[in-house]
């Protein structure tokens, strides 16, 4: 279907199957004006906390939380599920998934537990790529205490044929992606999703997930969601009108001067 000019129902379903496969491979207080001095003392190198207007009180919210799993244990649980032994439910027969589990990404889903497991059994990017996930930045959402946020910046080297493209050792560098895992009180995963957060990074056209691998080997899927971002005609016209208006305004101001 790679060379098909128009998207079909089968193609659309295949797209989210591939995206799933790629997913496997954290009383207000009074304001104290911040010091005008640097928070780092040049002599002692001690970092002083900086008050940020509008920042949530993480410690207060943590103390008020009724979720039974601590933030530290929740992060450890997320890392357990990400490790190859469990593989987000793909290696333990879905034992780590709650019955009401859903997968939901930027343009795919939500889909349920059975569909998620069936999809991941049909397509494996690791068969064609050596993938370094490079996870970092784990934290628990301060207001949704059952959610763990984290990032990664994948690097993948093609090691075998992929969608008809023979391996030439090409290295794909994906943009930073933000992930979340939700848990229930039993430590089972109730939701998993991810989103590209910086489309200017990497060499996959700003695409993440499986879309990045297709684009990276030169076989982008023929639908807009699977290609690099391109502003719509209306958006381009809106920008043009805005720039034109600003030029006329500047010209009028210069004339009045």
Q: What DSSP designation does 63 have?
A: H
Q: Which residues touch 144 (CB under 8 Å, ≥6 apart)?
A: 182
Q: Is 22 exposed, middle or buried (0-12, 13-18, 19+ CB in 10 A)?
A: buried
Q: Check whether 118 has a pLDDT greater than 70.
A: yes
Tokens (6 digits) for 12 = 């659309």
d(CA 172, CA 128): 12
Q: What DSSP designation does 226 have?
A: G
Q: What would you measure as the largest C-alpha separation in the chain, in angstroms?
A: 74
Tokens (6 digits) for 204 = 């996959």
Tokens (6 digits) for 103 = 């997968």
Give the position of tokens 């496969």.
21
Q: Check whether 35 has a pLDDT greater than 70.
A: no
Q: What DSSP designation does 187 have?
A: S
Altogether, the residues listed in the chain come to a count of 257
Q: Check whether 30 has a pLDDT greater than 50.
A: no
Q: Check whether 228 has a pLDDT greater than 50.
A: yes
Tens-digit pLDDT profile for residues 54-64:
999 988 998 89
CB 191 within 8 A of CB 105: no
Give the position of tokens 């098909």.
4
Q: Which residues touch 75 (CB under 8 Å, ≥6 apart)?
A: 138, 139, 140, 148
Q: What DSSP designation does 40 have?
A: B
Q: What percent of the chain has pLDDT over 70?
A: 82
Please list the alpha-helical segments (H only) found in the chain: 9-24, 58-64, 71-82, 113-120, 209-216, 233-256
Per-residue confidence (pLDDT) for residue 210, from 0 to 100: 86
Which band of pLDDT confidence, cut at 50, 70 and 90, is reported for residue 37? low
Which band of pLDDT confidence, cut at 50, 70 and 90, is reported for residue 223? confident
Tokens (6 digits) for 173 = 């560098």
Per-residue confidence (pLDDT) for residue 11, from 0 to 100: 54
Per-residue confidence (pLDDT) for residue 90, from 0 to 100: 87
Q: What percent of the chain has pLDDT over 90?
A: 56
């Amino acid at each position: 279907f790679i060379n098909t000019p128009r998207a079909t129902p089968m193609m659309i379903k295949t797209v989210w199957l591939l995206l799933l496969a790629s997913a496997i491979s954290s009383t207000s207080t009074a304001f104290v004006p911040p010091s005008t001095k640097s928070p780092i003392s040049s002599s002692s190198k001690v970092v002083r906390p900086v008050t940020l207007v509008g920042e949530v009180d993480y410690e207060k919210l943590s103390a008020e939380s009724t979720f039974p799993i601590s933030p530290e244990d929740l992060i450890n649980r997320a890392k357990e599920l990400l490790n190859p032994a469990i593989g987000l439910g793909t290696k333990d027969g879905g034992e780590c998934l709650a019955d009401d589990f859903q997968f939901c990404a930027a343009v795919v889903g939500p889909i349920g537990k059975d569909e998620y497991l069936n999809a991941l059994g049909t397509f494996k990017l690791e068969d064609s790529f050596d993938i370094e996930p490079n996870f970092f930045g784990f934290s628990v959402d301060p207001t949704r205490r059952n959610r763990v946020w984290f990032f990664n910046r994948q690097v993948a080297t093609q090691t075998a044929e992929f969608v008809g493209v023979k391996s030439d050792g090409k290295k794909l560098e994906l943009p930073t992606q933000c992930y979340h895992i939700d848990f229930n009180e039993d430590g089972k995963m109730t939701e998993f999703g991810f989103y590209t957060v910086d489309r200017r990074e990497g060499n996959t056209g700003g695409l993440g997930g499986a879309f990045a691998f297709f684009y990276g080997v030169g076989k982008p899927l023929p639908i807009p969601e699977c290609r690099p971002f391109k502003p719509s005609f209306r958006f381009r016209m809106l920008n043009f009108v805005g720039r034109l208006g600003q030029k006329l305004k500047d010209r009028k101001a210069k004339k009045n001067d």
